[in-house]
Protein backbone atom coordinates (compact mmCIF):
# COMPACT_ATOMS: atom_id res chain seq x y z
CA UNK A 1 0.00 0.00 0.00
CA UNK A 2 2.25 2.84 -1.12
CA UNK A 3 1.03 6.25 0.02
CA UNK A 4 -0.57 8.63 -2.41
CA UNK A 5 0.38 12.27 -2.32
CA UNK A 6 -2.64 13.95 -3.89
CA UNK A 7 -6.17 12.88 -4.59
CA UNK A 8 -8.11 14.29 -7.49
CA UNK A 9 -11.85 14.59 -6.93
CA UNK A 10 -12.69 11.38 -8.82
CA UNK A 11 -10.22 9.29 -6.81
CA UNK A 12 -11.39 10.92 -3.59
CA UNK A 13 -15.02 10.18 -4.47
CA UNK A 14 -14.15 6.54 -5.17
CA UNK A 15 -12.45 6.19 -1.79
CA UNK A 16 -15.32 7.97 -0.01
CA UNK A 17 -17.89 5.68 -1.67
CA UNK A 18 -15.92 2.69 -0.38
CA UNK A 19 -16.16 4.30 3.05
CA UNK A 20 -19.95 4.61 2.63
CA UNK A 21 -20.13 0.89 1.82
CA UNK A 22 -17.97 0.10 4.83
CA UNK A 23 -20.22 2.12 7.14
CA UNK A 24 -23.44 0.68 5.74
CA UNK A 25 -22.14 -2.88 6.09
CA UNK A 26 -21.84 -2.55 9.88
CA UNK A 27 -25.08 -1.89 11.78
CA UNK A 28 -23.33 -0.30 14.78
CA UNK A 29 -21.17 1.91 12.60
CA UNK A 30 -24.19 2.89 10.51
CA UNK A 31 -26.13 3.84 13.64
CA UNK A 32 -23.18 5.86 14.90
CA UNK A 33 -22.87 7.71 11.61
CA UNK A 34 -26.58 8.48 11.51
CA UNK A 35 -26.55 9.68 15.13
CA UNK A 36 -23.54 11.90 14.46
CA UNK A 37 -24.67 13.28 11.10
CA UNK A 38 -28.43 13.32 11.53
CA UNK A 39 -28.79 11.65 8.13
CA UNK A 40 -31.48 9.00 7.78
CA UNK A 41 -30.81 5.77 5.84
CA UNK A 42 -33.31 6.72 3.15
CA UNK A 43 -31.30 9.89 2.44
CA UNK A 44 -28.00 8.12 1.71
CA UNK A 45 -28.70 7.42 -1.95
CA UNK A 46 -29.66 11.02 -2.70
CA UNK A 47 -26.51 12.30 -1.00
CA UNK A 48 -23.96 10.03 -2.68
CA UNK A 49 -23.08 12.70 -5.24
CA UNK A 50 -22.69 15.45 -2.66
CA UNK A 51 -19.07 16.47 -1.99
CA UNK A 52 -20.11 17.74 1.46
CA UNK A 53 -21.67 14.37 2.34
CA UNK A 54 -18.66 12.40 1.08
CA UNK A 55 -16.32 14.66 3.01
CA UNK A 56 -18.45 14.08 6.10
CA UNK A 57 -18.21 10.32 5.62
CA UNK A 58 -14.42 10.57 5.60
CA UNK A 59 -14.50 12.89 8.62
CA UNK A 60 -16.53 10.27 10.47
CA UNK A 61 -13.96 7.56 9.77
CA UNK A 62 -11.03 9.86 10.47
CA UNK A 63 -12.55 10.56 13.88
CA UNK A 64 -12.53 6.87 14.82
CA UNK A 65 -9.05 5.39 14.54
CA UNK A 66 -10.16 1.81 15.20
CA UNK A 67 -12.74 1.90 12.40
CA UNK A 68 -10.36 3.79 10.11
CA UNK A 69 -7.77 1.04 10.47
CA UNK A 70 -10.40 -1.66 9.85
CA UNK A 71 -11.57 0.20 6.74
CA UNK A 72 -8.04 0.57 5.40
CA UNK A 73 -7.23 -3.08 6.03
CA UNK A 74 -10.46 -4.30 4.45
CA UNK A 75 -9.97 -2.22 1.30
CA UNK A 76 -6.15 -2.47 1.29
CA UNK A 77 -5.78 1.30 1.49
CA UNK A 78 -2.82 3.10 2.99
CA UNK A 79 -4.02 4.49 6.35
CA UNK A 80 -2.94 8.01 5.36
CA UNK A 81 -5.02 7.99 2.17
CA UNK A 82 -8.45 8.80 3.66
CA UNK A 83 -7.01 12.02 5.11
CA UNK A 84 -5.39 12.84 1.77
CA UNK A 85 -8.65 12.16 -0.04
CA UNK A 86 -10.53 14.33 2.46
CA UNK A 87 -8.66 17.39 1.20
CA UNK A 88 -10.40 17.07 -2.18
CA UNK A 89 -13.76 17.90 -0.57
CA UNK A 90 -15.13 21.17 0.84
CA UNK A 91 -14.57 21.89 4.52
CA UNK A 92 -11.38 19.87 4.92
CA UNK A 93 -9.56 20.32 8.21
CA UNK A 94 -5.86 20.55 7.52
CA UNK A 95 -4.58 18.84 10.68
CA UNK A 96 -5.56 15.20 9.98
Ordered DSSP codes for 53-83: HHHHHHHHHHT-HHHHHHHHHHHT--TTHHH
Residue 91 Ramachandran class (φ > 0 left, ψ -120 to 50 alpha, else beta): left
Give 54's contacts (C-beta < 8 A, 6+ positions apart). 12, 13, 16, 17, 20, 48, 89
pLDDT of residue 96: 45
Task: Tell which residue, 61, 52, 55, has the closest CA to residue 32.
Answer: 61
Confidence of residue 1 (pLDDT cuts 50, 70, 90): very low
pTM for the model stands at 0.87
Residues 39-88 have pLDDT tens digits of: 987 888 899 999 999 999 999 999 999 999 999 999 999 999 999 999 99
Amino acid sequence: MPPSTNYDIESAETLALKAVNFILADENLQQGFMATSGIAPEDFKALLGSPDFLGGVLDFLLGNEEQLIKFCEEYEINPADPARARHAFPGAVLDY
